[in-house]
């Protein structure tokens, strides 16, 4: 899988690619990341990549020409019969979800375009962009952080990247949890500042532990992301035991044992 990143600030990606457990994916080229600076494809002494917007207004707009030349260089380097999609990180894009990340993790990759300034000449977008992605209803200074979020989420799903092969399967939003939030986690000491680890987790009774975790997942989801419960119910992901627990939840609240 290969991701080509078009960015004016390739140095921002250095910590991501060389730090943390996901660096295994990049160092081994399981997730092959290549950085391209459109300034290297700009003309003139100043290598301009932006200009003032037609119609006036604040800020600058990224020029289509250097982006076009940069993209063509990427296409030539990839040498693919079927061009990888060009993805733009944009407020109008579809919000990134676990399902979308799973799809990208099983793909051959993409070309990721990190916009800057007030945006990109719309003609380049209309001509080349195949998909747009948003992290949420807020604006970043550029697309680099969004691109790093996608790369990190994709990398950790690749076999051999995490120490425990199955650990990501029980992340929040994963189908293994029926798309619900993950349960709380505890470690040593058993009592910290007067707060004890829930008794169920110390019982050694696997079925009891799993039921505790499921109920905590249900309770947290009901409290913080109730729409995920609706989706899980519609998909047939909630058992009779789950529904019985949820029916008691207003009186019981989060389980302490």
pLDDT the model gives residue 169: 58
Please tell me the predicted confidence (pLDDT) of residue 167. Answer: 56
3-state helix, strand, coil in the chain (%, to 5): 45, 15, 40
Q: What is the DSSP letter of 135?
A: S
Nearest to 64 by CA among 40, 36, 38, 82: 38
Contact 54, 62 (CB under 8 A): no
The tokens describing 182, both together, are 């993950």
Q: Taking the model in full, what pTM does it have?
A: 0.89
SS3 180: coil
How confident is the model at residue 170, as a pLDDT? 63
Please give the average pLDDT of every successive group of 10 residues along the chain, which has 257 residues: 98 97 96 98 94 96 98 97 96 96 97 96 98 96 98 95 64 85 95 97 97 96 95 97 94 47
Nearest to residue 143, comparing CAs of 188, 103, 199, 91? 91
CATH (one of 1.10.10.10, 1.10.1270.20, 3.60.15.10, 2.115.10.20) for 173-252: 1.10.1270.20
Distance separating alpha carbons of residues 166 and 234, to the nearest angstrom: 26
Residues 6+ apart with CB under 8 A from 224: 181
Sheet containing 32-36, strands listed edge to edge, beginning at the edge strand earlier in sequence: 32-36, 2-6, 109-113, 86-95, 129-134
Write down the pLDDT at residue 255. 44
C-beta atoms surrounding 48 within 10 Å: 14
5, 11, 26, 43 from 22: Cα distances, Å: 17, 18, 7, 37
Check if CATH label 3.30.565.10 holds for domain 2-155: no
Domain boundaries, the chain: 2-155, 173-252
Q: Which two tokens stand for residue 32?
A: 């092959």
Instruction: Tell me whether the CATH fold assigned to 2-155 matches the one assigned to 173-252.
Output: no
* Bridge partners of residue 110, in order along the sequence: 3
User: Where does residue 255 fall: left (phi above 0), alpha (psi -120 to 50 degrees), or beta otherwise?
Assistant: beta
Instruction: Give the integer Cα–Cα distance in Å for 156 and 167.
Output: 10
Annotated active-site positions, please? 91, 118, 156, 171
């Amino acid at each position: 899988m290969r991701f080509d990143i078009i960015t004016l600030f390739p140095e921002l990606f250095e910590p991501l690619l060389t730090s943390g457990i996901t660096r295994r994916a990049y160092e081994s080229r399981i997730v092959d990341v290549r950085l391209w600076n459109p300034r290297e494809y700009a003309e003139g002494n100043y290598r301009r990549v932006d200009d003032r917007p037609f119609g006036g207004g604040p800020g600058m707009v990224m020029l289509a020409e250097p982006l076009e030349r940069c993209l063509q260089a990427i296409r030539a380097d990839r040498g693919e019969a079927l061009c990888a999609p060009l993805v733009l990180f944009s407020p109008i894009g579809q919000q990134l979800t676990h399902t979308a990340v799973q799809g990208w993790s099983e793909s051959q990759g993409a070309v990721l375009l990190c916009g800057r300034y007030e945006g990109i000449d719309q003609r380049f977008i209309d001509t080349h962009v195949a998909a747009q992605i948003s992290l949420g209803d807020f604006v970043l200074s550029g697309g680099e952080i969004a691109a790093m979020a996608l790369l990190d989420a994709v990398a950790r799903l690749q076999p051999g990247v995490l120490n425990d092969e199955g650990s990501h399967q029980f992340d929040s939003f994963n189908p293994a949890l029926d798309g619900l939030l993950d349960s709380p986690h505890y470690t040593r000491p058993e009592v910290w500042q007067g707060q004890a680890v829930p008794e169920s987790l110390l019982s050694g009774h696997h079925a009891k532990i799993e039921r505790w975790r499921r109920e905590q997942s249900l309770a947290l989801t009901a409290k913080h992301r109730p729409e995920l419960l609706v989706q899980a119910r519609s998909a047939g992901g909630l058992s009779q035991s789950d529904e019985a627990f949820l029916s008691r939840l207003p009186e019981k609240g989060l389980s302490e044992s």
